[in-house]
Amino acid sequence: MTTHDDLTIALIHVKGAAKLLCMSVHALRKRIANREVPFVRIGRRIYFDRSDLRDWIEDQKVPPERKG
């Protein structure tokens, strides 16, 4: 069973997520509005699950092009 403390540790605010993703808060908010990045809405507040962001980063990777 997940406790409130476990949930608090896993969730980060927009500012922290923007830093983790190496983008501006404005750019991240645009991605939120376009539903391009996974987020959690609790009331009117937006949070991000660190593991969801890690998975999203992995999904964004572009494989190297093989030449030859």
pLDDT in tens, the chain (68 residues): 556 666 556 899 999 999 999 999 999 999 999 999 999 999 999 999 999 999 999 999 998 988 86
Q: What is the pLDDT of residue 66?
A: 86
Non-local (6+) Cβ contacts of 53 within 8 A are 17, 20, 21, 37, 38
Q: What is the pLDDT of residue 7?
A: 57
The secondary structure of 17-57 as a DSSP string is HHHHTTS-HHHHHHHHHTT-S--EEETTEEEEEHHHHHHHH
Q: What is the pLDDT of residue 10?
A: 84
In the chain, the domains with their CATH numbers are 4-60 (1.10.10)
Structure tokens at 63: 């494989």
